[in-house]
Amino acid sequence: MKVLPLLAPLAAVTIIALCTTAQSGGQSSALVRLQSASPGAAQVGHVNVAGNIVTSNLGVGMTDPPQVPLDVIGNVRFGGNAPHGLTMFNGATSVLEVGVAGTFGHYSQSAIANDAVIRNNAARSLHLQSGSGVSAITITNANRVGINTSDPESLFHVKGGQAYFDPSSVGGVPTVSLAIGAASTGWNLLGNGGLAGVVQGNPTLYMDARRVGINVANPGPDGLLVDGASTMTGKLTITQGVGGQRRVLIDQGGDYGTAFFSAPDTRSAGYVGPVGGNPGLLYIGMSNTAGSVAIGGIARETPNTVNIFGTTKNFVEVNPDDPRTDIWYASLEGPEAAMYCRGSGTLVNGRATIELPDHFKALAQEGTLTVLLTPNSFDTPGLGFGKKALDGIEVGELNQGKGNFDFDWEVKAVRKRLKDYKVLRPWTERMITGTDPKKAWNDRLRDHEQNMLKQNGNQP
C-alpha cells in the first residue's frame, strides 16, 4: 500500500527502524530525527535528509518496534487548506480515495468546497460492512445502492427484510412520509394507522385495516369507495367471507363482460351479460343455479327489440283493504305479440262507426284485427260488423235493426314490427355466453325433470 502525500521528497537514506515518542514541553525523544537537507544551523540529534526514505516499518508515537509499514499511536492529521486526502493503491493503480474537496468537483462531480468524499477509482463496488459477514451497504459503479445485497437491481434495493421508518410527529400526530420523485408524491403513514398514497398533492389511495379508498382521503364506513370512473380488466369475485359462498362475480367472459349475483339460498343467481353466444343478446335477470341458462329477465334480441320473459309476469299492488297482504295479478299470455284497444259507441238507427286512435293504427298490422261487440240493451237481436280495417270499423244491429243504444267494443291486433314473432325457439338462445353446451344441456334436463315432478303434484 502507498500513502500519499505524507512527506516531501527527502534524500535517499535507508533506515532500518524509526521510532519517536512524545515528551512534555513539546520535545520528543527518538532514535532518529529527520529534518530538511538545509535547515540552516546544525541541530543536535537531527539528520539532514533529501530525496526518498526507504524503511521497512515506520512507527510514530511509540517506543516498541512498529508492526506494519506505518504504525501510528494517536491521531493522524492532514493539514493545510483543502483539497487534501488519502489515496490507496493496488500496485500502480489508484483504488480508493478519501478526501476533502477544495472547490466544486474535487474528488466528485457532485462535491463542493469542504465536502468529504469516499470513492472507488477502479470502477468496482464500494462496500460497508460490520465483521466478516456480507456487506451491509453496497454502492456499485452504476450508482446503485443495495442494503443486504451486493447486486442491487435498482437505484435502491433492500433485500431479505423490511425498511422501517420511525414515525415523526407533525402537530402531535405521528406520521411517516416517503417521497417518490417529488415531495408532493409518495406514501404517508397516518396517525390513525392508515396508509395514504399521494400523487402531486392529491390523495389517490387510502388504506387501513378494513377500508380502501381510491381518489378519496377517507372512505368513511365503506369497505371500498371509488370516487370517479373505474375500469377493470379480468375477474372480480366478492364472497360471503373467507372460504364463503360466492356472492358477486364480474368476469370479462371472453370478449364480453358478464356478472353473477348469487342468492343466499343458492337456488338462483342474478346475471348480467350476453346469452346464446351472441353479444347482441344482452340479458339482465335470473339464471339457473349453475349459471348456465337464463330463466327470466330482460333480453335485448335485436338492436331495437327488448324481450321481457319469465315463467310469469306480474303486477303487484298493496291490498287497499288489508295492508298486511299484496295483490298479485299475472299477465295474460298468448302466442303472438298483440295489443288491444277498447271503448264505447252509440248506434243511431242501427248503425255506428268505430274510429281507432292514431297511436293504435300506427303500431297495428293491417289484416290482423279481431273485434268484440257488446250491446248495452236487452231489446236487440245482437250486433255485427261489416268493414273491418284500421281506418274504421262499421257496426250494425242484426236483422236490419234500427235501434238506438250504446255498445262496448274491443279490438285486438298484432304489432306490426313483431308480426313474425317466434313461438318455438332453440333452447340455446337462453344459454349463458361462455357456458359449456354439454353442461348447459345437462342442467336444463335436470331442471326439466324437477319441473315435471312439480307439475304432476310430486314434490322433488
Question: CA 268: distance to chain centroid?
Answer: 30
Amino acid at 232: M
pLDDT of 421 reads 86
Highest-confidence segment of 47-61, 102-116, 121-135, 345-359: 345-359
User: Whole-angstrom Cα distance, residue 411 to residue 372?
Assistant: 6
**What is the mean pLDDT of the segment spanning 233-239?**
70
Q: Average pLDDT over the chain, rounded to whole?
A: 77
Burial grade of 433 (CB within 10 A; 0-12, 13-18, 19 or more): buried
Strands 116-120 vs 182-189: parallel, antiparallel or unpaired: unpaired
Q: Is the pTM of this model over 0.75?
A: no
For residue 379, count other CB atoms closer than 10 A to its CB: 8
pLDDT digits (tens, 9 = 90+) for 282-330: 778 888 777 778 888 888 776 667 788 887 888 888 899 998 999 888 8
User: Whole-angstrom Cα distance, residue 141 to residue 125?
Assistant: 6
Q: Which three cell numbers stand for residue 48?
A: 539532514
Rg (CA), the chain: 49
pLDDT category at 336 given cuts 50, 70, 90 is: very high
Q: For the chain, first and last CA: distance in Å?
A: 95
**Are 69 and 93 a contacting pair, CB within 8 Å?**
no
- Looking at the predicted structure, is the pLDDT value of residue 365 above 90? yes
**What is the mean pLDDT of the segment spanning 409-432?**
89
pLDDT digits (tens, 9 = 90+) for 84-115: 788 888 877 888 888 888 888 887 888 888 88
- Looking at the predicted structure, is the pLDDT value of residue 30 above 50? no
pLDDT of 56 reads 67
Sequence-ordered strand ranges (E) for 166-242: 168-170, 173-180, 182-189, 195-199, 202-207, 212-214, 224-226, 236-239
- Looking at the predicted structure, is the pLDDT value of residue 398 above 90? yes
pLDDT of 244 reads 57
- Looking at the predicted structure, is the pLDDT value of residue 262 above 80? no
- Looking at the predicted structure, is the pLDDT value of residue 349 above 90? yes
Q: Which three cell numbers stand for residue 299?
A: 333480453
pLDDT digits (tens, 9 = 90+) for 140-150: 888 888 888 88
251 compared with 267, residue with greater pLDDT = 251
Q: Which three cell numbers stand for residue 319?
A: 291490498
- Looking at the predicted structure, is the pLDDT value of residue 11 above 50? no
pLDDT of 3 reads 39
**Are 155 and 144 a contacting pair, CB within 8 Å?**
yes
pLDDT of 344 reads 97
User: Whole-angstrom Cα distance, residue 298 to residue 47?
Assistant: 111
According to DSSP, residue 392 is labeled E
Alpha-carbon dihedral 43, 46, 51, 52, rounded to 10 degrees: -160
Residue 5 has, within 13 A of its CA and on its CB side, a CA count of: 8
- Looking at the predicted structure, is the pLDDT value of residue 121 above 50? yes
User: Whole-angstrom Cα distance, residue 78 to residue 205?
Assistant: 54
pLDDT of 355 reads 97
